[in-house]
Amino acid sequence: MSELIIFDLDNTLIEGDSDRNWGQFLVEEKLVSEDYLLESEKFYNSYYDGNLDIDSFLNFCLKPLKNNQMDKLIDIRKKFIDTKIKPIIRDKAMRTVLGEIRKNNKVVIATATNSFVTRPIAELFSVKELIATEFEIINNKFTGKVKGVPCFREGKLDKVNEWLKSHNYNLSDATFYTDSFNDLPLLEKSGKSIVVDGDDKLTLVAKENGWECISFR
C-alpha cells in the first residue's frame, strides 16, 4: 500500500506566504487600498507570534473576493500565480513532492490559506489532493462566508481527519512536513513529523520530540 505524505504549503514548499503575497498583489493591482496591506501585515505578524484571530483574518480575506466578479478574480489569480508564486517555488521542495508522487504515494497539501488561492499552486506541484480553508460560493460568487472549519491549528487536524474518513489511510502512519508552530496539533498526531526550515518555536519543540529537521532552501 502507498504511504500518505502531507505537506504544508506556505514557507514549506514555497519561499513565502501565499496569503500575504496575494494581499500585496491585490494592492499592486489596485483592487484594494494600501490600508489593506497594512492590515494584512498585522495579521501576518500575529500568525507568526502564534496569536492569530483566524475568524477576523478570514473575514478580512473575504472582502476583496466578495466585492469582485469570479471571472475577474480568476483572471488576476492567473497573473498572481505566474508573477508571485512560480518564482518562489523551492526547487528542493518540488523534487521532494514529485519524488513521492513517482513512488505512487498519496501526496496531500494541507494549508490554512484558502483554496481559491492555493488550488492552482497545488496543481503546479502536480498534487491533486488539497485540504484548505474553504469559502462559500453561491451562483459563482463568493458570499463572504467561510465554509466549514478553517484549516488552521486544531482545525487543520480536524480537516485532515475528515479527509481520512473517505480514504484508506491512517494518520499514525503518515508523514507530515511543515515549518510552523501553528501546525503542532497535526505534527503531534502524525506518524512521522518533519520540520522544514522551522520557526524558532517549532525548532525547539522538534528537538524536544526528536523530530527530523531539514531544509528545502
Catalytic residue numbers?
Answer: 8, 10
Q: Measured between alpha carbons, how far is 114 from 217 in angstroms, rounded to an integer?
A: 24
Name every residue whose Cβ is closer than 8 Å to that of residue 24 and which is 6 or more positions away in sequence.
Answer: 37, 40, 84
Query: CB atoms < 10 A from the CB of 99, how many?
Result: 12
Cβ neighbour number for residue 75 with a 10 Å cutoff: 11
Residue 111 is inside which H or E element, if any? Answer: strand 106-114
153 Cα distance to chain centroid: 12
Distance of alpha carbon 201 from the chain centroid? 19
